[in-house]
């Protein structure tokens, strides 16, 4: 069961509120217009990560952003694995988007978007995902498997640091070695780093989820949901490789490269990322 609580505060352009679903309460924001796009953030992060992109979207786009369960303003009772996050996205689309929406996902949020697109194509008008960490695709790949092994070793260390209560160290290790590279602090000022550390506990559920990297490629390939994959030229090699393989496995998908961007173009290159979203929506409208 899910239900949307009326907005407790609002402006002429923006509504905010809470959505109760699957035992959790999700904090959400929408900017009202015609075409509805739901944005799904990545690990450690929250809905504020889209703030640079939303004002650059084309006229007529409603941007729905929410904190995934356990992150910032959203609660997280019990298990919070990929299936629960997928259920939350279904609830957001059903309750806040009238049962049909375009979805934009970043990193782990991209995996959630693809999971829902495979299971519930009737809810998804299109999907744009940036560098989904589909590391299961790298098994047996000469170039990608060593990268996946190295990433897994770092992730194990990140989880151990979180379990030891050393959240800031965990964020720094994840950001530098797995997500964003040595210049990650330029993307995340001190307040944002504090937010990442406060959300670090959510990574443990993700880490322990046996279906963390699971994708139903057969369902995605057989479905009629338009898919755009984006990747940066300067991001982590492991997610660039997994994105490239995903593009090969989904021949109907569009692959768009963002020159100079890394794993977080919505933060580093918001104008270019918003333009990619706009082009994607135009293609989806013609599909």
How many separate domains does the chain show? 1
Interacting residues of 210 by C-beta distance below 8 A, sequence separation 6+: none
Is residue 183 one of the residues assigned to a domain? Answer: no
The string of DSSP codes covering 214-229 is ---HHHHHHS---EEE
Spatial distance between the Cα atoms of 165 and 143, rounded to a whole number of angstroms: 35
Q: What is the pLDDT of residues 51-99, one digit of tens each?
A: 999 999 998 899 999 999 999 989 877 677 898 999 999 999 999 888 9
Is residue 156 one of the residues assigned to a domain? Answer: no
Provide the domain limits for residue 131: 2-137+211-286
Is residue 278 one of the residues assigned to a domain? Answer: yes
- Give mean pLDDT, residues 106-131: 96
Is residue 104 one of the residues assigned to a domain? Answer: yes
Is residue 36 one of the residues assigned to a domain? Answer: yes
User: For residue 235, what are the CA distances in angstroms to 7, 75, 199, 259, 279?
Assistant: 37, 31, 23, 10, 22
Is residue 222 one of the residues assigned to a domain? Answer: yes
Is residue 241 one of the residues assigned to a domain? Answer: yes
Domain at 132, CATH number: 3.40.50.1820
Q: What is the pLDDT of residues 228-269, one digit of tens each?
A: 999 999 999 999 999 999 999 999 999 999 999 999 999 999
Predicted pLDDT at 287? 78
Mean residue pLDDT across the chain: 90
Spatial distance between the Cα atoms of 272 and 287, rounded to a whole number of angstroms: 23
């Amino acid at each position: 069961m899910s239900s949307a609580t009326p907005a407790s505060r609002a402006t002429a352009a923006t509504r905010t509120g809470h959505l109760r679903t699957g035992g959790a309460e999700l904090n959400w924001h929408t900017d009202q217009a015609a075409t509805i796009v739901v944005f799904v953030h990545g690990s450690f992060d929250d809905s504020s990560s889209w703030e640079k992109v939303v004002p650059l979207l084309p006229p007529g786009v409603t941007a729905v952003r929410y904190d995934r369960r356990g992150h910032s303003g959203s609660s997280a009772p019990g298990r919070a694995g990929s299936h629960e996050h997928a259920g939350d996205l279904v609830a957001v689309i059903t309750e806040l988007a009238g049962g049909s929406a375009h979805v934009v996902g970043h990193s782990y949020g991209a995996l959630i978007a693809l999971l829902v697109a495979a299971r519930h194509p009737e809810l998804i008008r299109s999907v744009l995902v940036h560098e989904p960490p589909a590391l299961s695709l790298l098994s047996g790949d000469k170039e990608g498997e060593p990268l996946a092994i190295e990433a897994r070793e770092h992730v194990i260390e990140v989880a151990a640091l979180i379990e030891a209560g050393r959240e800031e160290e965990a964020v720094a290790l994840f950001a530098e070695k797995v997500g964003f590279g040595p210049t990650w602090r330029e993307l995340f000022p001190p307040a944002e780093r504090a937010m990442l550390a406060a959300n670090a506990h959510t990574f443990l559920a993700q880490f322990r989820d046996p279906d963390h990297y699971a994708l139903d490629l057969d369902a995605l390939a057989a479905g009629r949901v338009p898919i755009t994959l984006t990747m940066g030229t300067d991001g982590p090699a492991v997610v660039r490789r997994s994105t490239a393989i995903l593009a090969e496995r989904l021949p109907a998908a569009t692959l768009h490269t963002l020159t100079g961007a890394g794993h977080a173009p919505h933060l580093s290159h918001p104008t270019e990322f918003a333009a990619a979203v706009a082009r994607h929506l135009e293609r989806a409208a013609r599909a």
